Amino acid sequence: MFNYNPTFTFASYFTHNRLIIFKIPKDRILPGVKGLRGPFSCLNNARYGISWGAIGAAQACFDSAKEYSLSRIQFDHPIASYQLVQNKLSWMLREITKAQLLAYHLSQKKDAGNWIPEHISLAKMNNVDIALEIARVARDIHGANGILDEYPVMRHMANLESVKTYEGTHDIHNLILGRHITGIQSFTRHLS
């Protein structure tokens, strides 16, 4: 029996599916959907959600690092008063803001009905990448306490590592963007 018990993805549910050949009645088929259009639509919406979820994880890591740095006293001062910590917090906030703007722009395109898979790939890949780096910086600000489950940083980092892979690895998203940029499908080497 398949036993899957990950130590990550606390915000996601996993299932194990076994496909059995069967016929789907015509009245159960999605109207207007041919081929892989339906499944890819679902995948695109999942990637869109991930682009926003990664921002939430990044914000939680930032909030924890800020709170910790204000309360952690070192050499008679909170570590938040030191230049390196302020630089890290400033960088984290700047990157969160850029990720929010990217996701918001994608949301506007989605609402207008003119988003394309390349937009979704870019947002998912960028926001997960930056959220992971923010989690690492937050762990650094927490010092040795950064790996304790008393703080949310490692939980978010493990979750972000998993979403970096599912719904398309970064390599796949880069190939999607490369095809969009060059007009050449690298999977087949044919012009798109």
**Residue numbers annotated as active site:** 167
Rounded CA gap, 1 and 28, in Å? Answer: 31
Cα separation of the two ends of the chain: 42
Q: What is the DSSP string of 41-59?
A: HHHHHHHHHHHHHHHHHHH
Within 13 A of 78's CA, how many CA atoms are on the CB side?
10
DSSP3 helix / strand / coil % (the chain, rounded to 5): 65, 5, 30
Helix count (H) and strand count (E) of the chain? 5, 4
What dihedral angle (degrees, nearest 10) is formed by the CA atoms of 144, 150, 153, 155?
120
